[in-house]
Amino acid sequence: MRNTAFFVAGAVLLFLQSHVFRLVAMVERGIGWLLAVVHLRTPVPGAEFSIPGLVPSLVLPLIIFMGVHEYSLARGAGVVFALGYLTDLLGIAPVGLYTFTYVAIFVLARSAGVRLATQTRWMQVVLVFAFALLESVIVLVLLAIFGKDASVPRMIYPMILPHTLVTGAVSPLVFLVAQRLHVATQLAPRTELGGGPP
C-alpha cells in the first residue's frame, strides 16, 4: 500500500511539475512589465525578465525521502523506476534518461542513509540541493555522451544553479507531504482472524 501511495503522490507531483513552468513564465512576464513601468519605458514584447531553469523538480525530494527513510531497495527502486519512466514519457527527454537518473539518485540516497540529518528543514534543503546538483550533472553527462545534439548540454548548463536552488527551496513542502504519507501507510497491528477478545 505504501509503494502505491508514493507512486500516486509522485505522479501527482509530476503532473504539478509539468505545469509549474507556466506559472513561472507568467511571474517572469509580470516582473518584466513591472520593471519596464518602473524604468518608465514602453514594454517591448519578447524582452521579458527571465531566469532559465527556474522550474523545480517536485519528484526528486520524494525520491530522496524514500531513499533516506530506508524503504525496501527492490520495491523503492521499482517505484522510482516507474516515476522516472513516467517523467521520460511526459517530458521531452530521451526515454531512459530520468529512469536511470532517478534510480541512481535513490540508490545513492539509500546508501547515504542520512535519516537523522533530514529531520530539520535546513538539512532537507541542503540534502535536496546536493542531490539536485548531482542529478543535473548526471543528466548533463548522459546527454553529452548519448545525446544526438552536442549543443543541448551547453544550452542546459546555465539552468543548473536556478533549478537546484528552487528544487531545494520546495523540498520541505514535499518532505512534509511524504512524511504524512509515510505515517498514514505504516502497518497497523494485525488481529487474529476469527478471534475475538479473549
Instruction: State the residue for C-alpha cell 509549474.
Output: 20
Return d(Cα 107, Cα 167) in angstroms, integer.
Answer: 19
Secondary structure element (H or E) that encloses residue 74, with its range: helix 73-90
Cβ neighbours around 6 below 10 Å, total: 24
Indicate the residue type of 26.
M
CB contact at 8 A, 168 and 125: yes
Return d(Cα 99, Cα 82) in angstroms, integer.
Answer: 7
Which parts of the chain have pLDDT scores under 70?
28-29, 31-53, 70, 114-118, 187-198
Q: Rg for the chain (alpha carbons), in Å?
A: 20
Q: Enumerate the domain spans of the chain.
A: 2-184
Return d(Cα 8, Cα 92) in angstroms, integer.
Answer: 21
For residue range 153-173, what is the model confidence (pLDDT) as tens digits?
788 888 888 889 999 999 999
For residue range 64-82, what is the model confidence (pLDDT) as tens digits?
999 888 678 889 999 999 9
pLDDT, position 192: 46
CB contact at 8 A, 56 and 20: yes
Asked: is 2-184 a CATH 1.10.10 domain? The reply is: no
Return d(Cα 22, Cα 30) in angstroms, integer.
Answer: 12
Burial label, 98 (beta-carbon count in 10 A; 0-12, 13-18, 19+): buried
Instruction: State the residue for C-alpha cell 527502486.
Output: 77
Buried-exposed string 51-76: b where 16+ CB fall within 10 A, e elsewhere: eebbbbbbbbbbbbbbbbbebeeeeb
